[in-house]
Amino acid sequence: MTACGICPRTAPDGQHLCLVHAGELRGWLAELPYQARLLREEFLAPVGRPAQGRLGGTGRAEAPLPVDLRVLVLLAPGRYDPLPGSDDDGQPPITAVLGAWAGHIAYHYPAAGRDPHGTARTQPCEQARPRRGETVTGWCEWLHGYLPFALTLPLAAGLHEAIGDLIHRVRALTHTTPRKHPLTAPCPKCDTFALARTDAQWDITCGECGHTLEPEAYKQHVAAVLRAHQPATA
């Protein structure tokens, strides 16, 4: 058993985040592409297309909406070095943060290959290559796919912090936070009433122990709980 890099809970064997924090990170990676899309739609509407409800119906030529600089920075391409002590200003673009962390994780990932002489060698991956390109969605998919591996690295807590910073910066601009809907049945693992469904996330998660359930499994769980509490028929 190892300790979670963030809280006093224990992490599963060989991992560096407890199930609650690993689940939170997974949720953020699913949320980020959606938030980035909101940012783009809300703040970067093409000039000339009236943004509904904002410009009014006066009919005169309007200057384009002033674009929030923070949005331009977040959506810009750019470089970012996640190592402490680097000279970034704490406001790196989204894709730069995601790409830097993917590169960091890829470097630890043992890639099996053959050298020019045909000898099999295992060495660090040189680069992370997201299948859907170096976009917010592409990087989030990549990080999501490699998350089981990333959780085995001590850098997992730093990754959690970096993605958390991003999501909070973006939410502050879009004023959109996925709502949590508490559920009525107790968690099948820890028995507390902390199960909740979060908007735009498939799994149901326990906020206490981090246990996750698919919606269908939750339904069966509820049925079992009800059966257990039904008075025995004579």
Give the binding site for Zn ion (CB under 5 A).
4, 6-7, 9, 18, 21, 187, 189-190, 206, 208-209, 211
DSSP string, 76-124: S------STT----S---HHHHHHHHHHHHHHHSEEEEE-TTS-EEEEE
* C-beta closer to Zn ion: residue 45 or 209: 209
Rounded CA gap, 21 and 209, in Å?
Answer: 10
* C-beta closer to Zn ion: residue 190 or 223: 190
DSSP string, 150-161: HTTSTTHHHHHH
CB 196 within 8 A of CB 180: yes
* C-beta closer to Zn ion: residue 105 or 156: 156
Q: How far is the CB of 54 from Zn ion (least distance, A)?
A: 42
Q: 195-198 and 212-213: which strand pairing? A: unpaired
Q: Can you name the residues that pair with 11 across neighbouring β-strands?
A: 2
Q: How far is the CB of 211 from Zn ion (least distance, A)?
A: 4
* C-beta closer to Zn ion: residue 64 or 186: 186
Q: Angle of helix 136-150 relative to helix 94-108, nearest 10 degrees?
A: 30
* C-beta closer to Zn ion: residue 26 or 211: 211
* C-beta closer to Zn ion: residue 209 or 222: 209
What length does the chain have?
234
Q: How far is the CB of 86 from Zn ion (least distance, A)?
A: 26
CB 174 within 8 A of CB 35: yes
Q: How far is the CB of 68 from Zn ion (least distance, A)?
A: 33
Sign of the CA dihedral running 201, 202, 203, 205: positive
Q: How far is the CB of 230 from Zn ion (least distance, A)?
A: 24
Q: How far is the CB of 224 from Zn ion (least distance, A)?
A: 16
